[in-house]
Amino acid sequence: MSTPKDILRAAEKLRWELGPHFQDDIAAKVSGAATALAGRYVRNPSDASGPSWQRRLDLILTGRWTGLPAMALLFAIVLWITIEGANVPSGLLAELLVDKIHPWLKTLALNIGLWPWLAGLLVDGVYLSTAWVVSVMLPPMAIFFPLFTLLEDLGYLPRVAFNLDRIFQKAGAHGKQALSMTMGLGCNAAGVIATRIIDSPRERLIAIITNNFSLCNGRWPTQILMATIFVGALAPPAVSGLVAAASVFFVALLGFACALGSSWLLSHTLLKGEASSFSLELPPYRPPDVLRTLYTSLIDRTLFVLWRAIVFAAPAGAAIWLIANISLGGHSIAWWMVTVLDPPGQIMGLTGVILVAYIVAIPANEIVIPTILMLTVLLSGNANVNSPGAGILFETEGHVLHTLLTGAGWTTLTAVCLMLFSLLHNPCSTTLYTIYKETGSWRWTGLSAALPLALGAIACSAVAAAWRLLAF
Amino acid sequence: MKQGALLGGSASDRHLLEDALKHLHESEYAGTSATLASLAGALSIPLEQAGLLLEELLQTKLANPSGTSVQLTDAGRDEARRIVRAHRVYETYLARETGIRADEFHRHADAAEHRLTPEAVDALADRLGRPRYDPHGDPIPTRDGNLPPRRGVSPLEMPDGSHALVLHLEDEPASVFRAAASAGILAGSRLHILGRRNGCLRVSVENRECELPQAVASALEVEPCDPPPPMRPLSSLTKGESASIIYLSPTLGGGERRRILDLGLVPGTIIRREFDSMLGTPTAYQVRGTTIALRREQADRIFVEL
């Protein structure tokens, strides 16, 4: 009498009676059953809220007066360890890859009878810029990412999102954006991937587009160099280090402000919508598994990002070598590019060389300074500096650098604008590619490049105009 | 389906025909009769154009004349419910999986209903767990075109002092929808009818009193329900105080509601307020041995026993 069809029809009819929120009842029943089971078989020796030191720690780390200083201190320590700790291994890697292997490869290439131009293209172009990226990028990332993962494992990072959520909420974004932005201090590509923890697609897009405002590892060296040889030099020697550090800190803070400002802008224009839910689990503090942390952060984050950077740096190396070595109408392509870009560069307080460097060094911010130096020497024909040759990247000591750059017309304004532009320009191609992979859209990728670039052009031009008006 | 017959003209002609079918369906469902004038009004088109549309519907056997009004044929009803289904499934998708504002669902869904094929709608419905009600509380026609009969009454017909469960909130016109939504009333809300004053209906919803103008009240459909137990918002707990959750506001919808349920914040759960963030909000709560942070806006919409 009742066939399966009848039953199905009756069930379908009955389902209308359940109303829109019957899932609530199911969830309540499931939770209730689970709680009853757990109550029967799981023994819970301590109070459910965990030991009291956990709670005391939370009161300090999320306290009204203590939360911010604790957070600032922890991140200052992480950044300091990263920057200081990376110096020595970076130096060693550079010595090995750039000072030792590069000449050896060059000799080898010429000895086996390679045409000089091909040897130049492959060894001076492709090999050298890749070696440069590896030696500058690998050590800080190999230090920063494990430290970051340790903080994550300790249970501290969710508290950062908890602490900063209100600010992000005001900007129409999600508190977890604090985490992807902190990750961006290591590498923006990794930061963009880290936005996966944000459930709401709208807020995730905001976090992706604004991640570039986190000053990444590749840009810290540029900031520190400019701050040291130009900004710090303005102050008396006793405090010059402090002034330099403060100026870099200010730029990083400006990046944070820009990220919030553009999040607000996006959430009120292109990405309008409801602020989504914020429910974040605050896990108990626990000792991290150091070996596992090291392994996962090195494999998942460091090597992954490094590989992408190498893939993009190799062709850029070829491009840099080619524009320096191919002549059109008696001048190298680099000369033509610099000549064309110098007027807009001057408006922005920069130079044509800097803009060209940012165009050809789009694969990695790490090679911007070496490219600037190479181009400066190539075009000014400065004989005081021992340049290895056209299209060959190099770096040199601070005071030599100062002489070289002021000789090429650099002033404090140039340095300040370079610091600004280094913060506010399009993401590197590794990050852009990652943004494309994550969003699947060229439009959002394009916006992620255009937004900071436009901000940078405006900010640099405004600073340059004000500077010249006040005639420092 | 009947699409071949409909697809005579351009895409915008097809949209108009589908909108006309929807209007006939809506009238049938509400128990009113659709006429040439009501069609022209609903679609905001001139009478002659509405006449052409009706003629086309009659010719393609999607509708039959019945006195001065027009009625759907079985084929026409199937076609109309296919479109209504596309509209409501798409609104459910918008509510659950995007951050688009509730008062914009309708506009987006009005465009999507003409674009989506029945297969795409079915695939979307499968992904959403085959929802039966859209975010406005309207039943979604099943893939066989089944729709339960309309139930519920206007809150204006409810006696003072009674309790009512909101079944449906009309999403057009948008201004009325916005007024109801900003008063915190959605499908699933429980109203306490307090009385009438100056043509407004005074109700209490989730411990807040508000006055609904006639236009807003008549956009609601309700049914009588039991009085809810006394309750207060989770945000009113003091530090260290515990209470049992008894009710989640229907304004917590979509993914937000699902996430909160998944975290174990279900009716019957004991929850304790722990500590506030550095900036005052969010606040950490202790639930089932874990610490969960919620924004103030959410804690205001989760209710615990008094």
Per-residue pLDDT of A140-163, as tens digits, reads 888 888 888 888 889 898 899 999
* In chain A, domain spans: 1-42, 61-470
Cβ-based contacts of A273 with chain B (< 8 Å) = 98-101
Residue of A nearest to B266 (CA): A28
B198 and B244 fall within a common domain: no
B115 and B196 fall within a common domain: no
Residue type, A242: L
Cβ-based contacts of A197 with chain B (< 8 Å) = none
pLDDT tens-place string over residues B160-210? 999 999 988 887 777 888 888 888 888 889 999 999 888 889 999 988 898
B160 and B270 fall within a common domain: no
Mean pLDDT taken over chain B: 87
Which of A67-76, A78-87, B262-271 has the least mean pLDDT?
A: A78-87
B252 and B127 fall within a common domain: no
pLDDT the model gives residue B151? 79
Q: Closest approach of chain B CAs to the CA of A243, in angstroms?
A: 29
B61 and B19 fall within a common domain: yes
Which of A147-151, A308-312, B36-40 has the least mean pLDDT?
A: A308-312
Q: Do A175 and B282 touch (CB under 8 A)?
A: yes
Split into its structural domains, chain B has a count of 3
- Interface size A-B, in CB pairs within 8 Å, comes to 149
Rounded Cα–Cα distance for residues A49 and B234 (Å): 19
Cβ-based contacts of B293 with chain A (< 8 Å) = 158, 162, 165, 278-282
Q: Do B282 and A62 touch (CB under 8 A)?
A: no
For testing contact with chain B, the best of A13, A56, A176, A274 (most B CBs within 10 A): A274
pLDDT the model gives residue B119? 92
ipTM: 0.79
B177 and B194 fall within a common domain: yes
The beta strands (E) that lie in A217-309 are given as: 279-282
Rounded Cα–Cα distance for residues A115 and A87 (Å): 36
CB of A407 closer than 8 Å to CB of A382: yes
Q: Do B188 and A272 touch (CB under 8 A)?
A: no
B209 and B285 fall within a common domain: no
B251 and B160 fall within a common domain: no
Which of B193, B224, B255 is where one domain is finished? Answer: B224
B8 and B63 fall within a common domain: yes
B131 and B188 fall within a common domain: no
Mean pLDDT taken over chain A: 86
From B165, B214, B168, B167, select the one nearest B191 (Cα to Cα).
Answer: B165
Pick A63's closest partner by Cβ from B256, B278, B297: B278
B129 and B165 fall within a common domain: no
CB of B23 closer than 8 Å to CB of B42: yes
% of chain A surpassing 70 pLDDT = 93
% of chain B surpassing 90 pLDDT = 28
Rounded Cα–Cα distance for residues A150 and A135 (Å): 24
Q: Do A16 and B148 touch (CB under 8 A)?
A: yes
Q: Do A280 and B276 touch (CB under 8 A)?
A: no
Q: Do A19 and B188 touch (CB under 8 A)?
A: yes
Question: What phi and psi values does residue A64 have, to the nearest 5 degrees?
Answer: -60, -40
A363, with CB counted inside 10 A (0-12, 13-18, 19+), is buried
Cβ-based contacts of B102 with chain A (< 8 Å) = 274
Which of B224, B254, B271 is where one domain is finished? Answer: B224
- Domain containing B297 equals 231-305
Res. A381 pLDDT band, cuts 50 70 90: low
Residue of B nearest to A14 (CA): B148
Which of B113, B146, B179 is where one domain is finished? Answer: B146
Which residues 6+ apart lie within 8 Å of B306 measured at CB? Answer: B229, B230, B231, B232
